[in-house]
Amino acid sequence: MEGRIVLSEEDIRRRLRELGEAITRDYRGKDLVMVGVLKGAFVFLADLVREVDLPLEVDFVAVSSYGADTVTSGVVRIIKDVDLDISGRHVLLVEDIVDTGLTLRYLMDLLRAREPASLEVCALLNKPAARKVEVEVKYCGFEIPPLFVVGYGLDCAERFRHLPYVKVLESGDAEDALSGENGKEGIGGR
């Protein structure tokens, strides 16, 4: 699989430690629930919670706004809602990537209606140049230009999530993934 690596395994690991330290400091003594946005954030969330030195609970929400496309449709559908009661609790919504802000805005409105004590966002990747609506990302792993990237949980047509780094999706890889051919690599393949 060809393509320019945007974030190496080492870059991600180092930033995860820094984010974990900041979250630990900011939420010490608070009832923390980390809510991962499926499917893209599952790898990031799994590694991030191990860097947070606090008792916490984890839940998930699943949404769809891309389908098998590389451009968001702008229509957000809830596929799985949170199971925990988050009212009065401190909620940290964990996203893989924030680009247009439409999905994040929808999720923030949905969760705010449940009256958490606080609601903040932690995103591995932030693409402010792609914004259509303003959203605040309190904990940002990395800011990137408006490229379509895969790896470390991010996908194209459900492929490439297994990569331990983040890379730019090349047109040939996208075509293979969307057609269902040659998109599957071995674990850790480069």
Point out the catalytic residue in the list 47, 96, 99, 176: 99
Cβ atoms within 10 Å of 174's Cβ, excluding its own: 18
Tokens 């802000």 identify what position? Answer: 101
59 is catalytic: no
CA-wise closest residue to 44 among 103, 93, 102, 108: 93
Contact 136, 101 (CB under 8 A): no
Residue 17 host element (H or E): helix 9-27
3-state secondary structure of 98: strand
Question: Dihedral through CA 6, CA 7, CA 8, CA 13, nearest 10?
Answer: 180
Catalytic residues: 99
